[in-house]
Structure 1
Amino acid sequence: MLKQSRFLAITAAALALSLGAVNAASAAAPDAQPPAGPGMMGGPGGHDGHKMEMRMKKELDKLHGQLNLNADQEKLWQSALETMKQNHAAMRQSHEQMRAQMQTVKQQPILDLNAMYAAHQKIEQQNAQLRDQTSAAWLNFYNALNDQQKTTVSTALKQRFAKMEARREHWGEHRGMQGGASAANP
Structure 2
Amino acid sequence: MSTKTSRFLAVAATSLALSLGIAHAAQPDAPMGGPGGAGGWHGHFMKELSQLHSQLNLNADQEKQWQSALDTMKQTHEAERANHEQMKQQFKAMQQQPILDLNALHAAHQKVEQQDAQLREQSANAWLAFYNGLNDQQKTTVSTALKQRFAMMEQRHEKMRERWEQHRGAAPGGASTLKP
TM-score of the superposition, structure 2-length normalised? 0.74
Asked if 2 retains the 8 angstrom alpha-carbon contact of 1:38 and 1:53, the reply is no
For residues 37 and 170 of structure 2, what CA distance do their matches in structure 1 show? 28
Mark the runs of 5 or more structure 1 residues left unpaired by the alignment: 1-36
Task: Report the equivalent of 2:128.
Answer: 139
Task: Report the equivalent of 2:35.
Answer: 47
Structure 2 letter corresponding to 1:136: N
What's the offset of the Cα at 1:57?
2.2
Q: Against the structure 1 CA distance between its residues 67 and 168, is the aligned structure 2 distance closer, same or farther, given a 3 Å change threshold?
A: same
What's the offset of the Cα at 1:182?
4.0
Mark the runs of 5 or more structure 2 residues left unpaired by the alignment: 1-19, 24-32
Task: Report the equivalent of 1:95.
Answer: 84
Task: Report the equivalent of 1:104.
Answer: 93
1:157 equivalent in alignment to 2:140? no
What's the offset of the Cα at 1:185?
8.4
Task: Report the equivalent of 1:114.
Answer: 103
For residues 49 and 165 of structure 1, what CA distance do their matches in structure 2 show? 25
1:66 equivalent in alignment to 2:49? no
TM-score of the superposition, structure 1-length normalised? 0.72
> What's the Cα RMSD here?
2.3
1:179 equivalent in alignment to 2:162? no
Asked if 2 retains the 8 angstrom alpha-carbon contact of 1:79 and 1:137, the reply is yes
Structure 2 letter corresponding to 1:38: G
Aligned positions, number? 146
Structure 1 letter corresponding to 2:72: T
What's the offset of the Cα at 1:93?
1.0
Task: Report the equivalent of 1:38.
Answer: 21
